[in-house]
Amino acid sequence: MAKDGRRVILRAPQWSDLDDFLKLISALVEEGADINMDAKTTRDAEVDWLARHLSAIEKDGKAAVVAEVDGRAIGQTDVTPKSGRQRHVGVLGIVIRNGYRDIGIGTELMEEAEAQARRLGLKILTLEVFSSNSRARHVYERAGYRIVGRVPKAVLKDGEYVHSIIMTKEI
Dump pLDDT digits (tens) for 72-122.
Answer: 999 999 999 999 999 999 999 999 999 999 999 999 999 999 999 999 999
Contact 27, 98 (CB under 8 A): yes
Please report the DSSP string for 125-155 in residue order.
EEEEEETT-HHHHHHHHHTT-EEEEEEEEEE
CB-based contacts of 36: which residues, under 8 Å, 6+ apart? Answer: 155
The highest-level CATH class for domain 8-170 is alpha beta
CA distance 129 to 166: 7
pTM: 0.92
Cα–Cα nearest to 4, from 134, 107, 103? 103
